[in-house]
Amino acid sequence: MVDSMRYISTRDESRTEIPFSDILLGGLAPDGGLYLPAEYPQVTGDMLDRWRKLLNTQGYPALAAEVLQLFIDDIPADDLTDIAYRAYTFPKFAHAEIVPVTKLEDGMYIGHLSEGPTAAFKDIAMQLLGEFFEYELRRRGETLTIVGATSGDTGSAAEYAMSGRDGIKVFMLTPAGRMTPFQQAQMFGLNDPNIFNIALEGVFDDCQDVVKAVSADADFKRAHRIGAVNSINWARLVAQVVYYISCYLHVATSNEQKVSFSVPTGNFGDICAGHIAKQMGVPIDKLIVATNENDVLDEFFRTGVYRVRSSADTFETSSPSMDISRASNFERFIYDLLGRDAVRVADLFGTQVPQGGFTLADDPAFLKVGTQYGFLSGSSTHADRVATIRDCYERLGVMIDPHTADGVKVARELRNQVDTPIVCLETALPVKFAHTIKEATGREPDLPDRFTTIMQAERHVTDLPNDVDVVKDFIAAND
């Protein structure tokens, strides 16, 4: 347990410190910034040794409970343990290890993050978040209205994690027509009076902008008890830090060995958790950012230019969960990169990003991106995805989804720059992207038994225009 673990906003010059439970339910900070620990807890060799034994003997939830205690000191340790064990159970997760790791080829592994109820890596964080929310709301005697945006997987993972929980309503915005049929069926087929699906005109970034605008209206947020489940919520990143540690412990035979990670990403949430694990002292070597054609992050890590795209300039791709051109979690990394300069970060993300972006190309700090912080990056196209899926299936007998294929493609491309084993983090099961899988392999992906009836379910969704006020009216009418 860490003494006095507190959190600060990336835009707060005064560095006001707030306990975990108070940031859990809120999402964005009142100043528009994102929360991070005032100081990252540090991992020692003795801790890694203990965790390796713990993972092997007691499993993933036991490891999660220990990691959570490093970040949370205002929930009793026994309660944190109970929360972790409720979140990570078999068969709710289809594999007893929760996050198994398998070898793909020499020097490369797959971290299987998609064994949860919606077959996407978002389940890892969402199942924990659902437990946290229910626990804290019960403790406070309060209710919560969750307003979120999804490009495909976050929404279904959030809805399945929050469904049936007392005191919680979910309003989830999706880009109309931009998700795969399976993704739509997962979300829109869920029949729960506390779950509201909204199909918004536009792309994911439009949905995210509406969510941010709703959260920025302090009076509305307070009146309707608005909270967030998107990756801006710090508790989700805490959950994701755990699987970096777990994957590391599976691959590294000793604490002297380092491991790299290749991470398909659009919103920078998944790989931001890897950055945090590395800052904690977990022996992580390189963090490889893998984007699709929406390559705003790849462009930054290659050039220092962060050039956000408009909705019209955001491509619709075959790895749709990464069709994002403004990465919400990126602010957390830039805050660390710039020496936690809240004034600069507030200007960069509060002023310059809305105007089109910023550049750090001539800033001395940019030199640290690849050295001190270990970032590499690359991008992938539809042809790359199809070729990678086909190769993994035909040559290696492994079927991967299009997003994971982006990660594998970029990892292979950068292999000569990495001297350590690479774990490619899986994003989803192939069944969620059947059209691309069939194009690549000539066959439909296997359908897990738990999804056999999902396509036939009645749909529950409301179409709305890209208008903040209309969305707020809908929330108010149904809250």
Residue 177 tokens read as: 């027509």
Residue 444 has pLDDT above 90, yes or no: yes
pLDDT at 3: 60
pLDDT digit string, tens, across residues 195-209: 999 999 998 889 989
Q: How far is CA 393 from CA 89, 239, 385, 390, 430, in A?
A: 30, 30, 12, 5, 11
pLDDT, residue 181, reads 85
CA-CA-CA-CA torsion for 64, 66, 71, 77, nearest 10 degrees? 110
Q: Indicate the Cα dihedral angle 339, 322, 420, 63, nearest 10°.
A: 80
Residue 362 in this model has a pLDDT that exceeds 70? yes
Phi first, then psi: give them for residue 181, nearest 5 degrees.
-55, -40
Is the whole-model pTM more than 0.75? yes
Residue 361 has pLDDT above 50, yes or no: yes
- pLDDT-derived band at 183, boundaries 50, 70, 90: confident
Residue 2: its pLDDT value, please? 45
**Contact of 173 with 293, CB cutoff 8 Å:** no
Whether the ω angle into residue 91 lies within 30 degrees of 0, i.e. cis, is yes
pLDDT at 28: 82
Per-residue model confidence (pLDDT) at position 319: 93
Number of other residues whose CB lies within 10 A of the CB of residue 351: 10
- List pLDDT tens digits, range 313-354: 989 899 988 888 889 899 999 999 999 999 999 999 999 999
pLDDT of residue 178: 86
The percentage of residues in the chain with a pLDDT greater than 70, rounded to a whole number, is: 99
Quick: pLDDT tens for 368-379.
999 999 999 999
Q: 392-419 burial by CB neighbour count: b if 16+ within 10 A, else e?
A: bbeeeebbbbbbbbbbbbbbbbbbeebe
Q: Is the pLDDT of residue 453 over 90?
A: no
In this structure, are residues 170 and 144 in contact, taking their beta carbons and an 8 Å threshold? no
Type of residue numbered 224: H
Other CB atoms within 10 A of residue 138 CB: 12
Lowest mean pLDDT segment, chosen from 18-22, 57-61, 151-155, 202-206: 151-155
Q: Which two structure tokens, joined as six digits, stand for 156?
A: 């279904």
* Structure confidence by residue, pLDDT tens digits, 103-142: 999 999 999 999 999 999 999 999 999 999 999 999 999 9
What is the pLDDT, as a whole number, of residue 451?
Answer: 86
- Which pLDDT belongs to residue 370? 97
Determine the Cα–Cα distance for residues 478 and 172; give it in Å rounded to an integer: 13
Distance in angstroms (rounded) separating the CA atoms of residues 95 and 378? 31
d(CA 153, CA 146): 16
Per the model's pLDDT, the better-predicted residue between 401 and 30 turns out to be: 401
Mean per-residue pLDDT of the chain: 94
Task: Please give the pLDDT value at position 67.
Answer: 98
Return d(Cα 175, Cα 163) in angstroms, integer: 21
Residue 234 has pLDDT above 60, yes or no: yes
Tell me the Cα Rg of the chain. Answer: 21
pLDDT, residue 230, reads: 73
Residue 18 DSSP code:
B
Report, as residue numbers or ranges, the catalytic residues: 122
Residue 1 — pLDDT band, cuts 50, 70, 90?
Answer: very low
Encode pLDDT of 32-66 as tens digits. Answer: 999 999 999 999 999 999 999 999 999 999 999 99
- Bridge pairing between strands 101-105 and 195-200: unpaired
Sketch out the chain's domains with CATH numbers. 101-118+234-441 (3.40.50.1100)
User: pLDDT tier at 228 (50, 70, 90 boundaries)?
Assistant: confident
What 8-state DSSP symbol labels residue 350?
I
